[in-house]
Amino acid sequence: MDRNWYFRLTVVLAAVTVAWLALWPSLGSLNPDGSLARGSILPAGAVAPKWVRDTFRGRISPGLDIRGGLRLMYQVQVEGYITEERNRVAERLLREVGVALRLLTDEEANDPPAAKLDAVRERVTVKRVGASSIRLVFKNEADARRIDRDWLAENHGQFRLDASRRNGPKEVFITYRDAQIEEMRRTAVAQAVQTIERRIDALGLREATVSGRDSDIIVEVPGADQRAFDEIRSIISRTARLEFKIVDESAGWMPGPEVQLPAGVERAGGNLTAKGNAGRDALASFIEDLPIPEDHTLAVGDAGESEGQTVWRVYYLLDATEVTGDDIESASVQFNEQEANRPVVALQFKDRGAVDFEELTGRNVGKSMAIVLDDRVMSAPTINERIAGGRAQITLGSGFGQNLMDEANNLVVVLKSGALPARLTASNEQMIGPSLGPAAVREATKAATIGIGIILAFMLLYYQFAGFVADIMVLVNLLLQLAIMAAFEATLTLPGIAATALTVGMSIDANVLITERIREELRAGRTARAAVDQGFDRAFWSIFDGQITTLIAGVVLFQFGTGPIKGFSVMLMIGMITSLFTGIFCSKVVLEWYVRGLKRQHIPVG
């Protein structure tokens, strides 16, 4: 045997050894009570030694149907979503009424001169009422009559006039139609489901399911790993609403000295500050009720550290949000040049967002821009110049090392998958048992064993020695596939067991093709050695083309698929690669040894 053959043999043996070590720890976790092993090919009670468990950390985890998992229920705060939609309308309404009163032209409505807008304000005030209504208070009745049913139908068909709730003829009271509220509720829940699905996909191959109903969202996560649950929880319920707002440095919002401040909140340098998480929450709830102009808003943000605790301060912001997380094309974790160990999240805007961002920064040179994430100011850098190119970065608050890194990674996941349309509150959480009983799992493993058994027996009978080699390759292939699944931390469900058995059935094709070819070559009168060489050479391209086309299908499915389809495509690709390896590479090593090493003149191929 030549050196090349020894090299290939080493590769095969190394692959098998590593695969076994990678799979070993999973056998224990898949099969805690030995129930999976009965009547199946998995060896019972195979507990890996500690060093193996420590080196190979990936495990195949049993899916929801086999072992159950955690079931999380969230309620979508639809009210908040509706209020926001209403606020968006209210922001535009003043200008639209201005047009209706002929104080503004259609062109001016988008960017009205301040003087003209003041003229509109003279004649009407827009007030937000409750969660879903708006009250317009006019100076005179004739103006109020302009905003009639027809005007509303044309401009805001989703609203209706509610005469019963206005105080006199100088007012117009509009409120969302019920059908519209129902529609918004559905949209909010559907969007939330999609966003959560994207977020879970971004976490990897976990076969979690997401479903929505009325205003609830149910997420089911397989397994029992508390760390994984924590990660999923933190990623799901995060609204991830990112906004860029301009800071108003005036102190018009500050409560007078007579106002009683809550415990932990102090006056400092024309602002309010608080320390630690408790202080932050007290501060946040205190500023919620402060009277401020309608076009402004208050938010709490990080102001550095003191005595090991984060100090929080209040930011007085212009309410108008021109650039939001929706305008982000991508997000990634990067490291700051000055502080090498502090990760920042770098953002790249979409084309439209980049233009808006450039305009926003251009208009506000010299002012500060607050980066607000979920109503908290992450940072508020001063705008030194117009920022073109559509890039921005978020510096993370206080925190250290791994925590900060996890925080940065989570932020990237949630920013990429988009903001939730409304806030979620966790409403219920329970551990659930498997949806299938142990009997069903046993039957399925039995079926898989029988199926693979039939293949092994047939190959041995029909192709004799070549069949025996193929059988070994089938088992090696199964080992490799499971090992790769373990490395990917894949979830094994009952349909997954069926799919694995099927891939094994399909992987036998390479051996059938090669052996049939060897048979043909022997019939054509070649020596055993030449037949083996020719068999592999000629069968190679048809196997290769067949597998490559299947691989194309796998790659495309991975690219476009979501959730279960993505998981499936990965299994498909793994199967293709391992069966190319065992079918062509490994079997060749064995058959070459037989005809060259042992120098047999005759090769039993049935």
Would you say 273 or 493 has its CB closer to other proteins? 493
- In whole angstroms, give the CA distance from residue 88 to residue 297: 14
Give me 209's structure tokens. Answer: 């399911």
Would you say 180 or 361 has its CB closer to other proteins? 180
Rule CB under 8 A: is residue 557 a binding residue for other proteins?
A: yes
Would you say 259 or 439 has its CB closer to other proteins? 439
Rule CB under 8 A: is residue 565 a binding residue for other proteins?
A: yes
Would you say 22 or 134 has its CB closer to other proteins? 134
Residues 368-397 that bind other proteins (CB under 8 A): none
Would you say 247 or 474 has its CB closer to other proteins? 474
Residues 415-454 that bind other proteins (CB under 8 A): 430-437, 439-440, 443-444, 446-448, 450-452, 454
Beta strands 424-432; 69-76: pairing state: antiparallel
Piece in contact with other proteins (CB under 8 A), picked from 23-31, 145-153, 380-388, 517-525: 517-525
> Helix 114-123 and helix 78-100: axis angle, to 10°?
100
- In whole angstroms, give the CA distance from residue 324 to residue 191: 17
Give me 23's structure tokens. Answer: 């799979």
CB of 604 to other proteins, least distance (A): 12
Mark 164-193 with x for binding to other proteins (rule: CB under 8 A) and - for no binding: x-------------x---x---x---x--x
- In whole angstroms, give the CA distance from residue 341 to residue 334: 10
Residues 4 and 593 sit within 8 Å (Cβ to Cβ): no
CB of 333 to other proteins, least distance (A): 27
Rule CB under 8 A: is residue 562 a binding residue for other proteins?
A: yes
Residues 129-148 that bind other proteins (CB under 8 A): 130-131
Give me 214's structure tokens. Answer: 């009325």
- In whole angstroms, give the CA distance from residue 456 to residue 458: 6
Residue selected from 152, 358, 520, 585 as contacting other proteins according to rule CB under 8 A: 520
Piece in contact with other proteins (CB under 8 A), picked from 249-257, 384-392, 495-503, 581-589: 495-503
CB of 550 to other proteins, least distance (A): 4
Q: Distance between the two ends of the chain, CA-based, in angstroms?
A: 26
- In whole angstroms, give the CA distance from residue 531 to residue 480: 28
Would you say 268 or 565 has its CB closer to other proteins? 565
Rule CB under 8 A: is residue 546 a binding residue for other proteins?
A: yes
- In whole angstroms, give the CA distance from residue 531 to residue 528: 5
Would you say 174 or 323 has its CB closer to other proteins? 174
CA torsion 533-538-542-543 (nearest 10°) is 0
Residues 223 and 67 sit within 8 Å (Cβ to Cβ): yes
CB of 512 to other proteins, least distance (A): 5
Beta-bridge partners for 267: 272
- In whole angstroms, give the CA distance from residue 148 to residue 136: 12
Would you say 327 or 471 has its CB closer to other proteins? 471
What element of type H or E holds 342? Answer: none
Residue that is written with structure tokens 């931390």 in the block: 489
Rule CB under 8 A: is residue 508 a binding residue for other proteins?
A: yes
What is the total count of residues that contact other proteins (CB under 8 A)?
Answer: 86
Residues 211-250 that bind other proteins (CB under 8 A): 211-214, 216, 218
DSSP letter, residue 368: B
- In whole angstroms, give the CA distance from residue 384 to residue 108: 30
Beta strands 209-213; 296-306: pairing state: unpaired
Rule CB under 8 A: is residue 559 a binding residue for other proteins?
A: yes
Rule CB under 8 A: is residue 399 a binding residue for other proteins?
A: no
What element of type H or E holds 138? Answer: strand 133-138
CB of 14 to other proteins, least distance (A): 29
CB of 379 to other proteins, least distance (A): 35
Sheet holding 328-335, edge to edge: 328-335, 343-349, 391-395
Would you say 187 or 309 has its CB closer to other proteins? 187
Would you say 31 or 500 has its CB closer to other proteins? 500
CB of 219 to other proteins, least distance (A): 11
Would you say 164 or 260 has its CB closer to other proteins? 164
Residues 13-72 that bind other proteins (CB under 8 A): 68, 71
Rule CB under 8 A: is residue 305 a binding residue for other proteins?
A: no
Categorise residue 520: left if φ over 0, alpha if ψ from -120 to 50, beta otherwise.
alpha
- In whole angstroms, give the CA distance from residue 204 to residue 332: 17
Rule CB under 8 A: is residue 512 a binding residue for other proteins?
A: yes
Categorise residue 464: left if φ over 0, alpha if ψ from -120 to 50, beta otherwise.
left
Would you say 39 or 262 has its CB closer to other proteins? 39
Piece in contact with other proteins (CB under 8 A), picked from 209-217, 279-287, 349-357, 528-536: 209-217
Cite the DSSP H helix spans in 395-490. Answer: 401-416, 438-487
